Chains A and B, each alone.
Chain A
Amino acid sequence: MSELSVSVESVGKRFRLYHERPSSLKERLLRMRHSRAVDFWALRDISYEIPEGTTVGLVGANGSGKTTLLKIIGGILRPTTGRVMTRGRIAALLELGAGFHPELTGRENVYLNASILGLSRKDTDRQFDDIVAFSELEEFIDNQVKFYSSGMFMRLGFAVAVHVDPGILLIDEVLAVGDEGFQRKCIDRVREFQREGRTIVLVTHAVDRVRQICDRAIMLERGRVRASGDVGDVVREFRLAMLQQHAGLDRVDVTRDAEITGVELLDVNGGPASLVTPGASIHVQVEIRINRPVSDPVVVINIHDTGDQFIYGTTTQHHGIRLVDTEGGKQRVTFDLHSLPLVEGRYFVSVGVRPGDLSQMYDWHDQQYPFDIAPSSEEEGRLFIPTEVRVEPL
């Protein structure tokens, strides 16, 4: 039975948004009346316990309160209600290189930043070479930081951050720094922290990352816990929420000169394609009706993943197909997507009709048609690449 590292008990955080709050003494004196304030609860009644040595992923849409919660755990903000208990030294990586001063050299900033993050001078001396090596900035360490590129700045910031010796590490989106190689190094370092039994709270948008490194996850929605516990469950819930959000989004300004009257995703057997195995094919069937005379209508389909990444898009125009454009005309357009090279996850199809010259949009259904790619064996990443493995005796 391990001890608790972090205990959050019915924590709420209220921000007051002031209209015309006097921000100077002069104004305060000139206008004695009280300013109106609007209360905004960034967090409501959050309770959560993190046992020592666990890695928790904190997910949620923008503005759901993730960073606020992290700041409260880190002691930067004070809760409005409830209490927070933490055991052990906390290092909060809310921003890399927070407190770096452009006029100082890399070396000076390392010492300054390390001491702010709680590393003693002696420890910094001992680890200095490691820090510099990690940042890959050996040649530039005695240059002023103002001459660094933003990538170098971030690298140095992360290098210092991962060399502090915290019991609890709070990370806010900062793993998405630098090139692939550096990112991998950061992830490796986080895994090392995990092996050493440290507690980590990770805020991120990248659901894959949560699945990759977290033991547990919490999802916040408008300041409340919507789901918590098993990583898979929470990630599924998060994707569902993103879907609902997308559905609620209003369409692009559409003229309805041509209208989408029906969309279906079908699998090879003609049944609804809700769960598809990697590499299988689907058919996107779109029915449209021309309401007013239009010239050269084009049907568009796009596919996005849950991270809102644009995966693939095509149009009837690309395939050299001309559609009927007479008023009242109805037609069905079918896109056969052969062999979807995608890995497990939910994907969303958007469908639209527009004129060939892109000047306007007749109709647009934004990411309204989801399908899931079934989990296959142990494949990871973005793309499904059919692979065979051979072994030959040498």
Chain B
Amino acid sequence: MADAEILVRTSEPPRMRVKERFRELFVHREVLVNLTRKELKVKYKSSVLGILWSMLNPLMYLVVFFLVFKLFLKSQIPDFHIYLLSGLLAWTFFSTAVQGATTSVVGNSPLVTKVAFPREILPLSAIGSSMVNFFFQFIVLIAVMVAFTYALSGPAVLLLPLALAVLMIFSVAVGFATSALNVRYRDTTHLVELGLLAWFWLTPVIYPALLVLEQGATTWRLYQLNPMVTITLGFQRALYGLRRLPDGRSVLPDPGISWYGIRLGLVGLAAVVLLYATWRLFYRRSGDFAEEL
């Protein structure tokens, strides 16, 4: 066994080396895939509709919000259903990913206390299963767009992969923090739920960002401190495109595609920094997970 890996463990919380962590995760990629599959299977195993549930969820939102905002509150947004779905797509992924990640370590305590493997896999598999749902919901959106022969707005579609990448990095960053925190403080779950509720209304999913933009420069600037604002706007710009209200005002900010690109890039950069910080927190604490559970 000359090529056997040598592991040394000491009392010090291990230093986090990003390259080494990525290699570890790569070595254990099958565990990640299997655990993600488990999440999905367990979620849909005993249900008649199975994975269809993940499509019904956004459709239900669509019907309710459409009823309330379009019919009762007379929202002026043209093709409100497409607007709603494109923002909801990003938001649903974020909220299910963060919620799933938060409970992932505590929920898998039999594994954590009995088997050694990179703990990051637990929140990552929860986020992975949200990812799969994301793609099914994306199919729903495409189907709706095709059904209504809604045209995509040219080069802005390129914003989609960028926005998606930023969304994923940001979700993982938040998920690492909340899952590690939940091991120590079990009411983190409730706090996250509450936080997400507020966060949802601070993100332009059912109302247009325009309404905030018109509140003045300071409010707008503060509003944009929420990374989900930029990410959601990215999704909406890519899928919904530039549309105008009946009075001529643009639903989405309209300083050109590069405005979105730059903002997404900046938020992405911030998300990477945040990810490094929360990953480090998670990794350093992960050595004690087995003890705390």
B210 to nearest A CB, angstroms? Answer: 36
Chain B residues, Cβ within 8 Å of A92: 114-116
Stretch in B51-59, B92-100, B185-193 touching the partner: B185-193
Partner of B41 from the list A71, A95, A103 (CB cut-off 8 Å) is: A103
Cβ–Cβ contact A75 & B186, under 8 A: no
- With an 8 A cutoff between CB atoms, is A278 at the interface? no
Give a binary string over B1-12; 1 marks a CB under 8 Å from any A CB, 0 the rest.
100111111110
Instruction: Give A96's nearest chain B residue, CB to CB.
Output: B114
Cβ–Cβ contact B30 & A89, under 8 A: no
Cβ–Cβ contact A23 & B186, under 8 A: yes
B2 to nearest A CB, angstroms? Answer: 9
Give a binary string over B258-293; 1 marks a CB under 8 Å from any A CB, 0 the rest.
000000000000000000000000000001101100
How distant is the Cα of A84 from the Cα of B6 in the complex, in angstroms? 10
Chain A residues, Cβ within 8 Å of B110: 95, 98-99
Stretch in A24-32, A131-139, A354-362 touching the partner: A24-32
Cβ–Cβ contact A83 & B114, under 8 A: no
Instruction: Give A21's nearest chain B residue, CB to CB.
Output: B184
Chain B residues, Cβ within 8 Å of A84: 8-10
- With an 8 A cutoff between CB atoms, is B117 at the interface? yes
- With an 8 A cutoff between CB atoms, is B71 at the interface? no
Cβ–Cβ contact B10 & A94, under 8 A: no
How distant is the Cα of A94 from the Cα of B186 in the complex, in angstroms? 26
How distant is the Cα of A99 from the Cα of B42 in the complex, in angstroms? 13
Cβ–Cβ contact A90 & B6, under 8 A: no
Cβ–Cβ contact A116 & B38, under 8 A: no
Cβ < 8 Å to B, chain A residues 42-100: 52, 71-72, 74-90, 92, 94-95, 98-99
Chain B residues, Cβ within 8 Å of A167: 1, 4
How distant is the Cα of A74 from the Cα of B113 in the complex, in angstroms? 11
Instruction: Give B30's nearest chain A residue, CB to CB.
Output: A115
Interface residues on B, range: 35 or more
Cβ–Cβ contact B111 & A98, under 8 A: yes
Chain B residues, Cβ within 8 Å of A85: 6-9
Cβ–Cβ contact A74 & B116, under 8 A: yes
Knowing A87-B1, A115-B30 touch, does A75 contact B7 (C-beta < 8 A)? yes
Chain B residues, Cβ within 8 Å of A83: 8-11
Chain A residues, Cβ within 8 Å of B115: 76, 92, 94, 98-99, 116-117
Instruction: Give B2's nearest chain A residue, CB to CB.
Output: A3
Cβ < 8 Å to A, chain B residues 14-62: 30-31, 33-35, 37-38, 41-42, 45-46
Chain A residues, Cβ within 8 Å of B187: 24-26
Cβ–Cβ contact A80 & B11, under 8 A: yes
Stretch in A104-112, A186-194, A250-258 touching the partner: A104-112
- With an 8 A cutoff between CB atoms, is A15 at the interface? yes
Pick from A24, A76, A81 the residue with the most CB of B within 10 Å. A76
Cβ–Cβ contact B4 & A76, under 8 A: no
- With an 8 A cutoff between CB atoms, is A184 at the interface? no
A5 to nearest B CB, angstroms? Answer: 9
Chain B residues, Cβ within 8 Å of A22: 185
Pick from B5, B10, B46, B111 the residue with the most CB of A within 10 Å. B10
Instruction: Give A122's nearest chain B residue, CB to CB.
Output: B30
Cβ < 8 Å to A, chain B residues 191-207: 191
Cβ < 8 Å to B, chain A residues 305-321: none
Instruction: Give B46's nearest chain A residue, CB to CB.
Output: A103
How distant is the Cα of A170 from the Cα of B153 in the complex, in angstroms? 60
Cβ–Cβ contact A112 & B185, under 8 A: no
Cβ < 8 Å to A, chain B residues 228-252: none
- With an 8 A cutoff between CB atoms, is A101 at the interface? yes
Cβ–Cβ contact B11 & A78, under 8 A: yes
A130 to nearest B CB, angstroms? Answer: 19
- With an 8 A cutoff between CB atoms, is A36 at the interface? no
Chain A residues, Cβ within 8 Å of B11: 78-83
Cβ–Cβ contact B4 & A87, under 8 A: yes
Partner of A76 from the list B8, B38, B191, B290 (CB cut-off 8 Å) is: B290
Known: A92-B115, A104-B38, A115-B30. 19 other contacts (CB 8 A): A23-B186, A24-B187, A25-B191, A77-B291, A78-B13, A82-B11, A85-B9, A88-B4, A89-B4, A92-B116, A94-B113, A95-B110, A103-B41, A104-B41, A108-B38, A112-B38, A115-B34, A116-B111, A116-B115
A interface, CB within 8 angstroms of B: 3, 15, 22-26, 28, 52, 71-72, 74-90, 92, 94-95, 98-99, 101, 103-104, 108, 111-112, 115-117, 120-121, 144, 167
A-B contact list, 16 entries, CB within 8 Å: A24-B185, A25-B185, A25-B191, A76-B116, A80-B11, A83-B9, A84-B8, A84-B9, A85-B6, A87-B4, A92-B114, A98-B115, A101-B42, A103-B42, A111-B34, A121-B30
Q: Which 6 A-B pairs have the closest CB atoms?
A: A98-B114, A24-B187, A75-B116, A88-B4, A78-B287, A83-B10
